[in-house]
A and B are shown apart, each in its own frame.
Chain A
Amino acid sequence: MRHLWLIPALPFAGFLLNGIFGRRASKAVVNAIAVGSVALSFLWVVKTLLSLGGMETPHAERYFTWIESGILNVGFELAVDRLTAVMLLVVTGVGLLIHIYSTGYMAHEGGYYRFFAYMNLFMFFMLILVMANNYLLMFVGWEGVGLCSYLLIGFFFLRRSASTAANKAFIVNRIGDFGFALAMFLMVVQFGTLDFAGIYPAAAEMPAEQTAGILTAIALLLFVGATGKSAQLPLYVWLPDAMEGPTPVSALIHAATMVTAGVYMVARSSALFLQAPLAMDVVAIVGLLTAVMAATIGLTQFDIKKVFAYSTVSQLGYMVLAVGVGAFGAGIFHLMTHAFFKALLFLGAGSVIHALSGEQDLRAMGGLRKKIPLTFATLLCAAVAIAGVPPFSGFFSKDEILLAAHHHAPWMYWVGVITAAMTAFYVFRAIFMAFFGDSRGHHHPHESPPSMILPLAVLALLSLAGGFIPVPRFLEPLFPAEGAHHDFALVAVSVGAGLLGIGLAWLFYVSKPGLADSAAARLGALYRLVYNKYFVDEIYDATVVRPLIGGSRAVLWRGVDAGVIDGAVNGIAQRSRDLGILLRMFQSGNIRSYAAWVLLGSVFVLAVLGVMGGLR
């Protein structure tokens, strides 16, 4: 036993302490508990991984039997293998940095202890998710992070838009979770177990004629779950709205960790997906479409967090593309580098917003380069990383994905390259609009406190150098490389696309600032279509939400609830009332009439007894 349970238990203890006693504790105590618990968890991860060594085989620890029912036996079982090791380091490492950052960012907000209690609870569920050794326990973490996401998006619950966004995230995720649950039912039917160790060998041994149906169904349903959590088409709509939460939440949950859970789950289930080529194709195409579509929307947004939110959707699309074309290692690699640079982008954006006392509109920024130089420097690191400029982290992971996509189908590579160019463009557009040119706002920006700058610096370092961590090679025992050789021409094209995007952004937003508006005006309808996010929210609203609400109102509320249920209750009450009105006539208050009734009654009883012969 290496006490794996300590890893999730430490943040959970932090949650309990802060959740129960935090209201009365001082900020220093809340900070110490929240950051300390995650730091200890991180240290325990490092210690465990060091002591486990190579991890050629998963190290599993079973604590107790959770559910035993018929053939189904589900244990509370945690496990660590190489894939989990990468996830654990990303989750606790980036999580720790973001907790430290939050102590500075949230310093002036109400509900301080509540924020950190939720954050710790999130860490607990996320760690359960990645360490679970069966699908049901994974589902516990899966639902738990969804709950924390809901709680933290709606952290400023007095703001209507925040509570609406929280509801939206929760409800859209329910659709995906429904797919996950159905997949689990099918797995129980097919394999009689939910343990990874039981399912994957059985799936690998199934003959091809059997796998086509059941395994494809399971894989597709699992992927429905992934589209919800990882914000893929058609369920991505909640993620941009989730930016209503505090910025550290956007960085931790909606960029670095939770939204990558879908990618992790598909990678974890690689044995199932590899047996279902049709499902793999669906995964790859959905990922690619999401990447392109979100990138185009990102080109036109003016809210700095919305730009990065669509960027997250787009980058998640890349990861899903990677696992869809079978490059699981590359997908997890990009997951890691993305956690670094996207957390940095969000935290940097948070630092900008903090500096401008809450301003999020890029059009009201400008000229911040000199005013907040540290934030600018770190954000620039993240930008070059995401744009795929060699030798920074995004270059390596994105390249792995694009090469694998080319190996799978060349057209996917070209779409990916176009997306890469757009990625570089919108990220640098945001940077240029915020930091270059003249100030367009009336703010007095101030640099953020050290507790915020330090995590930015560490993440900047990781964004720059993270590409040299050989994640795909480390994961090779789990995910054999598909033999995609490094083709210099393909690499050069994708790097060129990134540089082209940066150059265009420079042209549009620094050297000729009027060009962007005139281009937008020239494109007219197309620009409006993209600016309004393809009207997807409006389409969903018209086709799904309104019919559902209308139908519920007409049938379920007016018909079933008001008509049948209330009708039955009210009807019974009304009949009793009518009977009571009749019976109360006996209560005349006239004593002699009571006496007469008593007499009649006793005569009646005697008569009945006499007739029945009871008097004998």
Chain B
Amino acid sequence: MEGAPLSWYLILSAILFALGVAGFLFRRNIITVFMCIELMLNAVNLSFIAFSHKLNQVDGHIYAFFVMVVAAAEAAVGLAIILTVFKNRASLAIDDVSSMKY
């Protein structure tokens, strides 16, 4: 990694994050939306790792592990929710899940 400057990693991270946001905002399938969330988390992880390497500190790695653990837990709960939603509504369109409102 000697040759690649920090900014490259950060730019890649930003691009991945922006893709995640865009997917989250514009895709209708719940599973896709869910995957976009994972994408955003991993984009952040990338910038954590990059900074950690650059600053020679271990904190960033620890954060990344935390994020992975949370993401795993979230995936378990999230997929369970998605399964239940699908069972009840026979649909995976995110716009159909809008009963929690005023």
Chain A residues with a Cβ under 8 A of chain B: 584-585, 587-592, 595-596, 599
Closest chain A CB from B42 CB (angstroms): 18
Distance A587 CA – B95 CA, assembled complex (angstroms)? 14
Contacts across chains A and B counted by CB atoms under 8 Å: 29
Cβ–Cβ contact A592 & B25, under 8 A: yes
What CA separation (Å) do A310 and B7 show in the bound complex? 107
Query: Are B94 and A591 interface neighbours, CB within 8 A?
Result: yes
Task: Pull 17 A–B residue pairs with CB atoms less than 8 Å apart, ordered by A.
Answer: A584-B102, A588-B98, A588-B101, A589-B97, A589-B98, A589-B100, A590-B98, A591-B94, A591-B97, A591-B98, A592-B25, A592-B26, A592-B94, A595-B24, A595-B25, A596-B25, A599-B21
Residues of chain A with a CB closer than 8 A to B99's CB? 589
Whether B25 pairs with A599 at a CB distance below 8 angstroms is yes
Q: Which residues of A contact B95 (CB under 8 A)?
A: 590, 592
Chain B interface size, as a band, is 10 to 19
List the 3 shortest-distance A-B pairs measured between CB atoms, nearest first: A589-B101, A589-B98, A584-B102
9 more A-B residue pairs beyond the given contacts A592-B25, A592-B95, A596-B25, with a C-beta to C-beta distance below 8 A: A584-B102, A587-B101, A588-B98, A589-B99, A590-B101, A591-B33, A592-B94, A595-B24, A595-B25
* A interface majority secondary structure: helix
Contact indicator per residue, chain B 13-32, by CB within 8 Å of chain A (1) or not (0): 00000000100111000000
Residues of A within 8 A of B24 (CB): 592, 595
Q: Could you tell me the distance in whole angstroms from the C-beta of B82 to the nearest C-beta in chain A?
A: 12
Residues of B within 8 A of A (CB): 21, 24-26, 33, 94-95, 97-102
Tell me how far the C-beta of A578 lies from the nearest C-beta in chain B, rounded to whole angstroms: 15
Question: What is the CB-to-nearest-CB distance from A416 to chain B, in angstroms, rounded to a whole number?
Answer: 84
A587 to B99, CA, bound (A): 10
**How far, in whole Å, are A595 and B25 apart by their CA atoms in the complex?**
7
Residues of A near B100 (CB, < 8 A) are 589
Residues of A within 8 A of B94 (CB): 591-592
Complex Cα distance, B24 from A460, in Å, reads: 104
Give A592 to B28 CA distance when docked, in angstroms. 9
CB distance from A124 to the nearest CB of B (A): 63
- Cα A316 to Cα B98 with chains together (Å): 84
Complex CA–CA separation, A584 to B95 (angstroms): 19
CB distance from A596 to the nearest CB of B (A): 6
- How many angstroms from the CA of A595 to the CA of B102 in the assembled complex? 17
Q: Cα distance A591–B85 when bound, in Å?
A: 14
**Chain A residues with CB under 8 A of B26:** 592
Contacts of A587 in B (CB 8 A): 101-102
Most chain B CB within a 10 A radius of its CB, from A585, A590, A591, A596: A591
Q: Nearest chain A CB to B56's CB is how many angstroms away?
A: 23
- Give Cα A590 to B24, complex, Å: 12
Complex Cα gap A340–B21 (Å): 100
B100's nearest neighbour on chain A, judged by CB, is: A589
Q: How far is the CB of A307 from chain B (nearest CB, A)?
A: 74
CA–CA, A584 and B100, complex, Å: 12
Distance (whole angstroms) from the CB of B31 to the closest CB of chain A: 14
Cα of A585 to Cα of B26 in the assembled complex, Å: 21
Docked complex Cα distance between A599 and B40 (Å): 13
- CB neighbours of A591 from chain B (8 A): 33, 94, 97-98
Distance in Å: Cβ of A576 to nearest Cβ of chain B:
16
- Residues from chain B with a CB closer than 8 A to the CB of A590 are 95, 98, 101
Chain A residue at minimum C-beta to C-beta distance from B28: A592
